[in-house]
Structures are given as C-alpha cells and as structure tokens.
Amino acid sequence: MGNVWMYAPDSGYVSGQSLVGFTVEAADGVIGHVDRQQDQPGMQHLVVDTGVWVFGRSVLIPAGAVTAIDTQAQTVKVAANREEVKAAPRFATDSDTADHDYLSKVGDHYLALRP
C-alpha cells in the first residue's frame, strides 16, 4: 500500500481536488459521505460522516486506503469492508488528527488489512 497517509498513484486522486460530499463505498456497501479532508502531504486523510450506520459518528480513513475516485459519479472507493472500517480506532474530534499516537493506531489498522 505504500504510505498509508498518501493517495496511491492509481487511485484517481488529483492534487487539490475536493472530495467533500462524495459518497464513500467500502468493499461491501456505502459507509457514508466525505465531511472534510486533509491534503497535507504525508497526512492525507478523509473524515467520513457515517450517518446512522455507526451511530452517527465519523470515521477517519487514511488516503492510502482509497482505491478509486470517480469524479463523475462523485464516489470514493476504499479497500476495507464495512466491519473493518467500523473496527478502526474511534475518531472523536478533529484534535485526534494532531495526535501521533492515534494516527499510528489508525495507520496500523489499515495497513494490517492489506494481504
């Protein structure tokens, strides 16, 4: 997967592209919509509003977990399935994105999902 905090070259991501509002699809169904994104090199990630699916909470998805972006359909596909996304370390507030320990746990979670 390379760096979990950067989009893969074949993901379809274009630098500076806004993904806010795009539908996020796991391997087995929709998980929510992009609420906000971080584009800082080496720290790229999406904050996804899961709606009622995970009790109205948001999840943080590292850019490296994104497998495809379709700007026409406004969808972002991620490699994980819904249970794997749900099992990721819980995202509480934006201050979590400055917590290196939290980010390490999230990164490790998504790296462990790779074959």
Condensed to tens digits (0 to 9), the pLDDT of residues 11-61 reads 999 988 999 999 999 999 999 999 999 998 889 999 999 887 666 789 999
Query: By C-alpha distance, which of 57, 74, 55 is closest to 47?
Result: 57
Scanning the structure block, which residue is given the tokens 């592209």? 17
User: Which residues, including other chains, have CB under 8 Å from residue 62's CB and lie 6 or more apart?
Assistant: 4, 5, 44, 45, 106, 107, 110
What is the domain partition of the chain in residue ranges? 23-112
| Structure token digits, residue 58 | 């948001």
pLDDT of residue 93: 87
pLDDT of residue 1: 44
Coil vs helix vs strand at 76: strand
Which CATH code of 2.30.30, 2.60.40, 3.40.50, 2.40.50 fits the domain covering 23-112?
2.30.30
Average pLDDT over residues 65-82: 96
| Structure token digits, residue 83 | 């249970």
